[in-house]
Amino acid sequence: MRNLLGPGSILGYCTNVHAGPTYAQTLANLEAYSVPIRQLVCPDQQMGVGLWIAHEAASQILGGDRVLELADWLRKRDLIAYTLNGFPYGNFHEPRVKHKVYHPEWSDHSRLVYTTELADILVHLLGDEKEGSISTLPIGWRDSITNSDDKSFAAAQNLIKLCDHLANIEEVTGKLIHVDLEPEPGCYLDTSQDVVDFFKDELYLLGNEHRLRRYLRVCHDVCHAAVMFESQEHVLRNYKSAGIDVGKVQISSAVRARFDTLDDHDRVDALEQLRGFGEERYLHQTMVGGATGQFYEDLPQALALYENTPPPNAQWRTHFHVPLFLQKFGLLESTQDEVLRCLALMNELTTCKHFEVETYAWGVLPAEMRVVDLVEGIAQEMKWVRQSVKTD
């Protein structure tokens, strides 16, 4: 959907919600889900899809010279591939992902190769679009990067090489493709200030600042900032004042438990309900008690502290992408208000044109929250965004 979130903007949904790391599976998912979602949401116009193309699929597309075939396939179905999700490298839907999603890190040459492959694919998928974006991981998991003497330096060097590649693409094709670092709780870049410091203290000291600003930007995931108790306004103003562009926004909600506002009985029940979100596939980072509170790298670690003790009396926020249209579920709630605040601020504080709904955790939601039809669930999210923008 175009122009919904400002002139020139495109809204789609991220296909990392669908399992399958091969090219054949990617096409099958687009046919089974994306095509009918467009029919439900905007049957008379094109719809954006934020393609997740895993490393295996990217190699198959380029190695088999299928990129023009894919571009034509999308065009015939009125799907716009304006952005790619280059964060998960391998199988994002295997039984246990957890920390694997942060590998390879940006210090690893294979991450650079994969991302340049995605750029080489995207430039052919853009069609008449002049700008494309690729979201990527925020260097790596914090402990892995900081416990090494040279990983952040190697990561910066690889990102500079990436920018050289993107500059060459623009010179040859006239297409601007930027890669957008996506801060995430627990990673080397998990707050907006981490991003600002990395640009200023590491990237700009090694490379051409003008080139880096053009081709390297930020993917702002609303859920991630909410988990870290960073207000949307603070995050966006911090980037703007540092001259760092937001290249892409992932519209997503976290889980919030307001133990500090519940009575003793409800706190016990809320804690029990929260246990249902402690599943085994993805990492569910949790912050307790505010921005200066206690960080747990996975929800079960925080829950284990309250096996035989009174329930907590503080607000918890957990990295678990829940459907955007849900505000409250039982004694828990989402950070939907953060989504609405972000959307209201976008045109004032950014020039971002790329937006995608990114609720990838439908399949691991507690049983009582799962939908029967994923197509209808994602379509409802897209419609919710459209209605929220009109309302606000």
- CATH number at 342 reads 3.20.20.150
pLDDT score at 372: 87
As a whole number of angstroms, the distance between CA 49 and CA 54 comes to 15
CB 240 within 8 A of CB 350: yes
**What does DSSP say about strands 286-288 and 328-329: parallel, antiparallel, or unpaired?**
unpaired
**What does DSSP say about strands 79-85 and 216-221: parallel, antiparallel, or unpaired?**
unpaired
pLDDT score at 285: 98
Tell me the residue range of the domain where 375 lies.
Answer: 10-254+332-391
Q: Let me know if residue 373 belongs to a domain.
A: yes
Segments in the chain below pLDDT 50 = 392
Q: Let me know if residue 269 belongs to a domain.
A: no
pLDDT score at 311: 87
Q: Let me know if residue 321 belongs to a domain.
A: no
Classify residue 147 as exposed, middle or buried by CB count within 10 Å of its CB (0-12, 13-18, 19+).
exposed
How many domains is the chain built from? 1
pTM equals: 0.97
- DSSP states of 95-148 as a string? S--GGGGG-S-TTSHHHHHHHHHHHHHHHHH-TT-SEEEEEE--SSBHHHHHTS
Q: Let me know if residue 267 belongs to a domain.
A: no
As a whole number of angstroms, the distance between CA 392 and CA 21 comes to 38
